[in-house]
Each structure stands twice: as C-alpha cells, then as structure tokens.
Structure 1
C-alpha cells in the first residue's frame, strides 16, 4: 500500500458513504482481494430491503467474502457492567451491541433471502460458497479523568478521546484554550491547526445551543500548536 494515492472523496456524501468510498479505493489497490460487488441494493418489487456493502474474492484462496462495513463513534459508560454493552452513541440513540445484532440478524440474513440470493445469482455468486465478515471501525471516548478502563475483548487502541458534561467544560481546565466544533464529516480526523479556532466563551455558547436540542457535539481543543484533544460534551 506504500504507493497508494487516494482519489478525492465527494463532499456531498454522508460520513458513512464517504468511508465506503475510502474502503473501495483501498480494496481496488489491494493485491489480496478482488471486488465483485459494491453497494448492491437488494429489492423486492419496488421496495428496497437493504444494501450489500461488499462482496470480495480472496485472490489466493478463491474464498468469496461478504463484508459489512461500519464506522461508529461511541462513548464508554463504565456504569454498565458488561463491556460490550458499555459502548453507546453520544446522544444515547444507538449502541455497539444493537449494531452488531442488526448486522448479524438483518444484514447478513438479507443475503439468504429470496431477493438476496437472486441478486447474487445475477452476479454469478452462489450463496453456499460465501462467508460473512464485518469490518467494524470505531472511535471510543472514555469518561473524563478516567485513565484505566477494562475493555477486553475490545481494542484499546480505539480510544481517541474522552467525554464530559457541560459542568466539566466550564472549569479552569478548559477556559484558557481554543476550540473548534467539527462537522460530522470531520469527526474521523485528528485535530490540526488549519481550522478556525474560537475562545472558550464563544464555544460555550455554541455548545449550549446544541445541548438544548439534545445533541452532543464533538469538540476539538487546541492546547498548543502541537497538542490537541478531542471530546464529546453530552447533553444527558
């Protein structure tokens, strides 16, 4: 992959579709896989039942692989005992466990439906020769001021920031720094100096407006020209 050069990503796509475009470019450049199907809608009459993200063929083994791709942002709630249930969306509208159940019970099952097998058959793909896999990318945010967390079997390297409440943001630990509230397509990025940074007071007004709408914003904080942090301020 050392010679990989990405093509521009359409800015009008929502974040999930932008991630799919990036993945497609990487797979096209890979010598290990051949892309047989990409974003194939499964329809029954005029109704769209769902969509297949990728069907790949391992060039060496000839194995056909169905891959569902997802990219999520979860905060870690240690008040919940089971690690797989601790990961929840910053607005408490989704969870890691619910997403995995949906992938297994709906998206994988879609290929075995009559409409799914017909769509694959039209592409020359037999469902009997296919295995299912999930590429689950995630950024995790630990509670503010919590250093040690038991995350097994989850990947510790996915922790990229923390989450807090407005009362925490209003303390002296934050008032002296500058901030930027990224749009959702920027959430995957690491903060840098190219953005328009604002003061704590100005940022506070923007955050309060979003919290009033029960929306938990992601915030980037610039502590110096080379030191940045990213976190969610939750409304609940």
Structure 2
C-alpha cells in the first residue's frame, strides 16, 4: 500500500476534537458519508502536513452527494498584501459554508492554564489549542467579512451574510505516561492517540523497541513491519533532537507485543 494511502487512512481514523458546537461558538462540520474509499487523488508532494490534510478533506468532500466545492485556498489580498487564506467555500444541500480545516497534535500539560482548553499545548510548546481557537475566531473566520473578500464572493455570486461558518478540526491528543487523566468536558476523549514521556524517563520502556516516523507519517496508524530500533539505539538517535528542544513522535512496541504512539519531550 502506498504511503499516501496509509496517511489518508490515519487521517480518516482521527476523530473531530468536539461534536457539533463548542463553548467557543465554533461549529464542527459533519460529513454525511464517513466510509474510507481508496485514496486516488493526485497530490503534488512534498506538502506540509496541514496542506496534505486539506487535500484529504477535499477528496472526502468530492465524495459527498450533498456537497459542491465552489472554491478552495482563496488567497485574500489587498494592495498586493496577503491578508489570509480561506480554506474552502462549499455548498451543502442549500447551505453555503465557509470551511476552515485544522489537524493538530496536542499534549496535556496540567501546569499550563486553568481550563480544559488551556491545558493542551503543541509538542514543542510553541503553540496551543487556545492559540488556534483564538486565531480561528478572531482572524480566520472574520476574513470572510473583510471588504477585500467581497470581490471573491461576488465572482461566486454569493452574499457573505448567506454563508454559514464551520470548522473541520481533527486532532490527536497525548496524555502523560502512566497518568490517569480525566480532563474532558467539551473535547472528545476519543481523540486520545497516545502518551508522552520525558526523555529522562525513557527507561520505563527499556525493554521495548522503537520507530520514529517522518512528520507526514504522524498521521498513520502504527505498522508492525518497520525497522524497529533497540532502546539504546533509539535513545542515541533522538538525543540531538532533545538537545535542540524538538519532541519527536515515536511508535513503541512493548515486550508483550502491544504498541503505542508516544512523544518524547524535553520539557
């Protein structure tokens, strides 16, 4: 099976981060068909992970009987300055929808913030769920109503006030290793994809084997037929990343044969 097909299957298996509308007022988009067909669209690689997911979502939208894609990746410009990008304008049934597409990896840190949303941060602590939600609510979604967007909508013969705004927000969530964490209210607990552990605590897995997938393959489900590394070899391989304050995602195969996804963090 081609790698991109495996990435697509992993994307499809990732749940949405919340159901319907969350407490931020952001409405989750719903696909009427959720089956997993063979992915056969043409993708010009290499792409960043976020752009690859956009291609997967576009493929899914084209399979929906009730969806027509009207425009994708609309660069909104004003006086030769790019104000932002609208991911997708579509029509679902009789409803026009501005859709923003998000796929993220977040780790639960109880020391950050005080609310359910504030505790989820990026693996390298450079971004957070709160940052993304704020950007969606204050920048990306309001772009639809910017005067510079009107000509693009006029070309589609759509008035902005007739367009609903949805997000398609999928995420893999990771909780501290060996910690039972009851942290879900608004968010979807089905998004838990694995654990994270500090580099200095890796000895918990000293009898396990490891594989470090490339960034695009973070989407993928764990495979068994990969070149597994011993504990010692893996630790030596990731040491430069840890020193560079980069948290890698790895697959762990434990002595009992069970596998899990695990971020190894430096913080």
> Is TM (by shorter chain) over 0.5?
yes
Matches of 1:10 and 1:181, distance apart in 2: 24
Deviation at 1:225, TM superposition (A): 8.9
- 1:220 — aligned with what? 251
Q: Is it true that 1:15 corresponds to 2:46 in the alignment?
A: no
- 2:28 — aligned with what? none
- 2:101 — aligned with what? 69
Task: Determine if contact 1:91/1:216 at 8 Å carries over to the other structure.
Answer: yes
**Root mean square deviation, CA, Å:** 1.6
Deviation at 1:226, TM superposition (A): 5.5
- 1:131 — aligned with what? 164
Match for 2:151 among 118, 122, 130? 118
Higher relative contact order (CA 8 A, sep 6+): 2
- 1:48 — aligned with what? 82
- 2:266 — aligned with what? 235
Matches of 1:221 and 1:21, distance apart in 2: 29
Structure 1's unaligned 5+ residue stretches are none
The correspondence of residues 126-205 of structure 1 with structure 2, limited to 5 A, is 126-169=159-202, 171=203, 173-205=204-236
Matches of 2:36 and 2:200, distance apart in 1: 47
Deviation at 1:76, TM superposition (A): 0.5
Task: Determine if contact 1:144/1:164 at 8 Å carries over to the other structure.
Answer: yes
Structure 1 stretches of 4+ moved >6 Å: none
Give secondary structure in 1 for the equivalent of 2:114: coil
Matches of 2:157 and 2:38, distance apart in 1: 31
Q: Figure out how many residues of one structure are paired with residues of the other and give that number.
A: 232
Give secondary structure in 1 for the equivalent of 2:153: helix
Give secondary structure in 1 for the equivalent of 2:219: coil
Q: Deviations over 1:203-223 (max 9, x none)?
A: 101221101111011111112
- 2:70 — aligned with what? 36
Deviation at 1:148, TM superposition (A): 3.3
Give secondary structure in 2 for the equivalent of 1:111: helix
Match for 1:96 among 129, 143, 167? 129
Q: Deviations over 1:40-81 (max 9, x none)?
A: 11111322211111111112xx11111100000000112343
Range moving further from structure 2, 99-108 or 218-227: 218-227
Deviation at 1:3, TM superposition (A): 7.7
